[in-house]
Amino acid sequence: MEIISEEILGQTIRAREPMSHKGNYGRVCLIGGDQHYGGAIILASQAAVHSGAGLVTTATMKVNHGPLHARLPEAMVVDWSESDRLTTSIQQATVILIGPGLGLATDSLTLLKRTLMLLTKGQICLIDGSAITLIADYRLTLPDGPTYIFTPHEKEWERLSGLLIENQDRESNRLSVNQLKGIVVLKKHRTEVYLADGIWQNPLGTAAMATGGMGDTLAGMIAGFVAQFPLNNAILAAVYLHSYIGERLGKAHYVVLPSELITHISSLMKRFEGN
């Protein structure tokens, strides 16, 4: 196992090509936010936009459109019950993030199944929050082709892998990850990233980040990063930077609010930008 270091930031976050345009920075489609957890998909969407994703579309329950736009006019919105439109948004996306605030209702399950069915080779699909639980509970199989990234916390990883939290050592995790055929970001005190070719540990993070919405924010950052940068590095850099900002704000705040953390992503990406 290796430790992620600050160098990952400069290696990953490269100066943008002068001639580039927003189409070069990915199309991210975020799916989540039911009538109770709209805030989760709002935070994830904000994080994706502030991380530099070129175009962001948020598919969520209609009731969440107003507050999302009040906070983030940069995002496009789709009512997740508009089937045709949602299909198009998923098909056009380079990165799909499903899960923040998705909920566990029948409609959420249907939405998840339909999303998985639409994915194609070359797309990156992040599976977060209740999407992980649904996949575990209903033993959904993931179609071959796309690259999958799972972002469970320990309890969700228990559901997905069948490993009790106390049995989640690296070897067991590695075996379970291999079966999943995806990348796993296991969120915990020192978050671990299970890539295809190695395991990385995040040395940063603070208990000041232990508050609702922080995981949704990380998921949105990873989505924004993988939309722009090479896959493995993008994940490691997002995980590291998320905690870096959290630690930094944690020096002056007893609790770090996700919505506050988000406003610092772009300036810290710039500070660490490599040439």
Q: Which residues are bridge partners to 60 per DSSP?
A: 79
- Is 69 annotated in some ligand binding site? no
At closest approach, how far in Å is the CB of 227 from a second copy? 11
Asked if residue 144 binds a second copy (CB under 8 A), the reply is no
Identify which range of 20-28, 118-126, 139-147, 230-238 contacts a second copy by CB under 8 A: 20-28
The encoded tokens of residue 213 equal: 């919405």
Taking CB under 8 A as the criterion, the residue among 3, 5, 16, 274 binding a second copy is 16
Residues 6 or more apart whose CB falls under 8 angstroms from that of 167 comprise: none
Touching a second copy, residues 166-195 (CB under 8 A): 189
Q: Are 45 and 72 in contact, with CB atoms under 8 Å apart? A: yes
How far, in Å, CA of 92 to CA of 105, rounded?
A: 26
Measure the CA–CA gap between 229 and 219, rounded to whole angstroms: 15
Asked if 54 interacts with a second copy (CB under 8 A), we say yes
- Binding status of residue 252 toward a second copy by CB under 8 A: yes
Which of 155, 110, 107, 166 lies closest to 132, judged by CA?
Answer: 155
Say whether 190 counts as a known binding-site residue.
yes
What is d(CA 34, CA 64) in angstroms, rounded to the nearest whole number? 8
143/118 Cα distance (integer angstroms): 9
Question: Which residue type does 155 have?
Answer: K
Smallest distance, a second copy to C-beta of residue 111, A? 18
Q: How far is the CB of 110 from a second copy (least distance, A)?
A: 20
Rounded Cα distance between 74 and 142, Å, is 31
Contact with a second copy (CB under 8 A) among 136, 206, 247, 248: 206
Nearest CB to a second copy, comparing residues 76 and 195: 76
- Judged by CB under 8 A, the residue of 182, 213, 220, 246 near a second copy is 213
Q: Which residues bind a second copy (CB under 8 A)?
A: 13, 16-22, 24-25, 35-40, 42-43, 46, 49-56, 63-79, 85, 153, 189, 206-208, 210-214, 251-259, 266-267, 269-270, 273
